[in-house]
C-alpha cells in the first residue's frame, strides 16, 4: 500500500504529520516546563517566606528570654517538618549565629550569602550548591531588631516534578504520534484509493486496454474526476476504434494498390517483351533480308543504319521490361533477381556494388515478401545512383529462422533522413514507399543517414507462416 521507493502520497502525508506532531509535542513540553518552573518557584518562594516568617515570630520569644536551647529545637523542628527545607538558622542583629539545623557543623559562608537590606521584609538569594539550587530566604525578627531568620529551600522536588511531568508529556506525545500515524495510514489509504484506481486504469489504457474504467463510488471531487475520466476513456475508445478501422481500410487499400501496380507492371512488361519486342525482332529480320538484296556499294540504301536503330530500340524495350518487372523474380526468386539487378546496375552506373547473400535455406520465401524486398533494394539503389555520389555500395541480404533482412549501405553524401520521413506532404515517394511496403509485409524499415556520412537502409521482415515456393 505504501510505496516507500516512489514516495507515495500516503508517505508524504505521514511525514508531514510526523513533523507537525513532533514540533507540536516539543513546543508543548518546553512551554509546560517553563510555566511549571515559574509557578513552582513562585509557590516555593511564598511558602519559604511563610515558613521563615513563622519561624521569626516564634524565635523572637526565645531570643528575648535568651532560651537558645528551645530556639535550637525550634529551628531543627522547622527543618525536619518541611521536606524541601534543607536548613534553617538564626543570626542575631549583630551577626552572631544563634541556632542552626546543620547536624555536622555550620558552613560559615552562609552567614554572608544572603544579606537582608535594612527595612526589607524579606530577601531571597539563589545559591548553587552540590545538591542543586537552594533558595535562601531571609526574614527579619522583630523588624530586624532581634536578628534574622534564614530558611534554605531546595529545588530538588521542583526538578523531580518537572522531570516526571516531562516524561509524562513525552509519553503522551509519542502515544499521540503513534495514534496519529495509524490514523493517517488508514485515512491516506482511503483518500488515495481513488487516485490509485485512476492510475491503474490510466496505465491499462496506455497499454492499449480501452475497456478498463475507473470504479470510484464517492460523491465528492474524486467521484466527479473518475466520471469525467471514464467519459474521456469512452471517447478515446471510440476514437481508437475508428482510427483502427480507418487504418485497416487504408492498409487494405494500399495492399490492393500495390498488388494492382505490380500486376500492371507485369502486364506491361509482358506486352513489351512479347508484342513490341517480337514486332521489332520481325522488323530486324526483314531489314536483314533487305540488306542482303541491297548492293553494298549503294549509298542510297541505309538499311544497316535502320537495323542498328531497331536493335537499340529492342535493347531499350528489353531494359524497360526488366525494370518494370523482371520475369526472373517470378520464376527463380529474390536472390537470382537481385544478382541480375545488381550486375545490370553496376554496368549501367559504373559503381562498385557488393552483394552479400546469406540464405540459410534452399526454399523461397512468400512471393509478396520477395517482391517487397526486391522493390526496396531497387529504390535504394536508384536513390544511390541519383543522389549519393557514393564510391562503394553494399547490399546484404540475410535470411535466418526469424526472418529476412536486407541492408543497403553507401558511403555517399548522406542526407537528413528524419526531415524527409516526417514530411508526409512531400511528393518524394521513394523512401515513404519503402516504409509502407515493409510495414504491409509486417516488417520494419529504418534509415540511418547524416550529411557527409553515407546512408544505410535496414529492412527486416519476419517469416511467420509456412514457406512458399512460388507465386504469391
Ligand atoms: N542514398 C542516398 N544518398 C543521399 N541522399 C539520398 C539518398 N536516398 C535518398 N536521398 C535523399 O532523399 C530524398 C528522398 O528520396 P525519395 O526516394 O523518397 O524521393 P526521390 O528519389 O527524390 O523521388 P522518387 O523516389 O519519388 O522518384 C532524395 O531527394 C534525396 O535528397
Ligand atoms: Mg527515390
The H or E element that residue 396 is part of is strand 392-399
Query: Residue 395: inside a domain, yes or no?
Result: yes
User: For the residues 222-241, what does the mean pLDDT come to?
Assistant: 91
Residue 1 lies inside a defined structural domain of this protein: no
Residue 425 placed within a domain: yes
User: 423-434, pLDDT tens digit by residue?
Assistant: 777 777 889 889
Q: Residue 469: what pLDDT?
A: 38
Which ligand is nearest the CA of 450, by number?
1
298 pLDDT band, cuts 50/70/90, is low
Residue 317 belongs to a domain: no
Rounded Cα–Cα distance for residues 203 and 226 (Å) = 14
Ligand 1 lined by 410 (C-beta under 6 Å): yes
Of 140, 172, 204, which closes a domain?
172
- Ligand 1 atom 22: residue of nearest CA: 428
- CATH of residue 368: 3.30.565.10
- pLDDT reported for residue 238: 93
Q: Is residue 166 part of a domain?
A: yes
Q: Give the list of residues 6+ apart from residue 51 with CB closer than 8 angstroms, or none.
A: 78, 82, 85, 137, 151
Domain count for the chain:
2
> Which residues fall within 8 angstroms of residue 459, CB to CB, at 6 or more apart?
373, 376, 405, 406, 407, 434, 438, 443, 444, 445, 446
Which residue has the CA at smallest separation from atom 17 of ligand 1?
A: 430
pLDDT digit string, tens, across residues 121-134: 999 999 998 878 89
Centre a 10 Å sphere on the Cβ of residue 53 and count the other Cβ atoms it contains. 18
The CATH number of whichever domain residue 132 belongs to comes to 3.30.450.20
Task: Tell whether 180 is covered by a domain.
Answer: no
Range of the structural domain that residue 424 is part of: 331-472
- Residue minimizing CA distance to atom 7 of ligand 1: 383
Nearest CA to ligand 1 atom 23: 428
DSSP 323-340: HH--HHHHHT-HHHHHHH
Domain endpoint, select from 128, 146, 172: 172
Q: Is residue 193 part of a domain?
A: no
Last residue of a domain, one of 141, 157, 172: 172
Is the distance from the beta carbon of residue 151 to the nearest atom of ligand 1 less than 6 Å? no
- Ligand 1 contacts CB of residue 415 (under 6 A): yes
Please compute the mean of the pLDDT values over residues 312-338 and round it to a whole number: 87
Distance 388 CA to ligand 1 centre (A): 9
Of all atoms in ligand 1, which is nearest to the CA of residue 386? 21
Calpha distance 228→231 (Å, rounded): 5
pTM tops 0.75, yes or no: no
Tell whether ligand 1 has an atom less than 6 A from the beta carbon of residue 431: yes
Pocket test for ligand 1, best of 349, 375, 376, 383 (most atoms within 8 A of CB): 383
Let me know if residue 289 belongs to a domain: no
Amino acid at each position: 500500500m505504501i510505496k516507500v521507493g516512489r514516495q507515495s502520497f500516503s508517505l508524504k502525508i505521514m511525514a508531514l504529520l510526523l513533523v507537525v506532531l513532533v514540533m507540536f509535542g516539543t513546543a508543548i513540553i518546553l512551554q509546560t516546563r517553563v510555566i511549571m518552573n515559574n509557578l513552582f518557584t513562585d509557590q516555593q518562594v511564598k511558602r519559604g517566606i511563610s515558613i521563615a516568617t513563622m519561624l521569626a515570630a516564634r524565635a523572637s520569644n526565645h531570643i528575648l528570654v535568651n532560651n537558645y536551647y528551645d530556639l535550637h529545637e525550634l529551628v531543627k523542628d522547622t527543618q525536619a517538618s518541611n521536606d524541601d527545607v534543607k536548613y534553617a538558622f538564626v543570626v542575631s542583629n549583630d551577626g552572631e549565629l544563634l541556632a542552626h539545623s546543620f547536624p555536622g557543623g555550620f558552613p560559615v559562608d552562609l552567614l554572608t550569602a544572603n544579606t537582608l537590606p535594612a527595612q526589607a521584609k524579606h530577601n531571597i538569594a539563589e545559591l548553587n550548591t552540590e545538591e542543586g539550587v537552594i533558595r535562601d530566604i531571609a526574614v527579619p525578627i522583630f523588624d530586624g531588631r532581634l536578628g534574622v531568620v534564614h530558611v534554605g529551600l531546595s529545588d530538588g522536588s521542583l526538578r523531580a516534578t518537572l522531570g516526571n511531568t516531562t516524561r509524562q508529556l513525552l509519553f503522551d506525545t509519542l502515544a499521540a504520534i503513534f495514534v496519529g500515524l495509524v490514523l493517517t495510514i488508514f485515512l491516506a489509504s482511503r483518500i488515495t484509493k481513488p487516485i490509485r484506481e485512476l492510475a491503474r486504469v490510466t496505465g491499462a489504457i496506455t497499454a492499449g486496454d480501452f475497456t478498463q474504467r475507473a470504479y470510484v463510488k464517492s460523491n465528492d471531487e474524486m467521484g466527479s474526476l473518475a466520471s469525467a475520466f471514464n467519459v474521456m476513456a469512452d471517447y478515446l475508445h471510440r476514437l481508437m476504434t475508428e482510427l483502427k478501422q480507418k487504418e485497416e481500410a487504408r492498409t487494405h487499400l494500399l495492399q490492393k494498390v500495390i498488388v494492382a501496380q505490380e500486376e500492371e507492371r507485369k502486364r506491361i512488361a509482358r506486352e513489351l517483351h512479347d508484342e513490341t519486342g517480337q514486332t521489332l525482332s520481325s522488323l530486324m529480320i526483314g531489314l536483314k533480308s533487305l540488306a542482303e538484296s541491297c548492293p553494298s556499294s549503294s549509298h542510297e540504301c541505309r538499311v544497316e543504319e535502320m537495323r542498328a536503330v531497331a536493335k537499340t530500340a529492342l535493347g531499350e524495350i528489353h531494359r524497360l521490361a526488366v525494370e518494370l518487372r523482371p520475369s526472373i523474380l517470378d520464376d527463380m526468386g529474390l536472390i537470382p533477381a537481385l544478382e541480375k539487378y545488381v550486375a545490370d546496375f553496376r554496368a549501367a552506373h559504373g559503381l562498385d556494388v557488393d552483394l552479400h547473400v546469406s540464405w540459410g535455406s534452399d526454399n523461397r520465401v512468400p512471393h509478396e515478401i520477395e517482391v517487397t524486398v526486391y522493390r526496396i533494394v531497387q529504390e535504394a539503389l536508384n536513390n544511390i545512383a541519383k543522389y549519393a555520389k557514393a564510391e562503394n555500395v553494399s547490399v546484404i541480404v540475410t535470411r535466418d529462422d526469424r526472418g529476412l533482412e536486407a541492408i543497403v549501405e553507401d558511403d555517399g553524401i548522406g542526407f537528413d533522413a528524419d526531415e524527409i520521413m516526417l514530411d508526409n506532404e512531400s511528393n518524394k515517394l521513394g523512401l515513404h514507399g519503402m516504409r509502407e511496403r515493409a510495414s504491409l509485409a509486417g516488417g520494419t524499415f529504418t534509415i540511418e543517414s547524416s550529411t557527409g556520412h553515407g546512408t544505410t537502409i535496414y529492412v527486416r521482415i519476419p517469416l511467420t507462416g509456412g514457406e512458399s515456393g512460388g507465386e504469391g
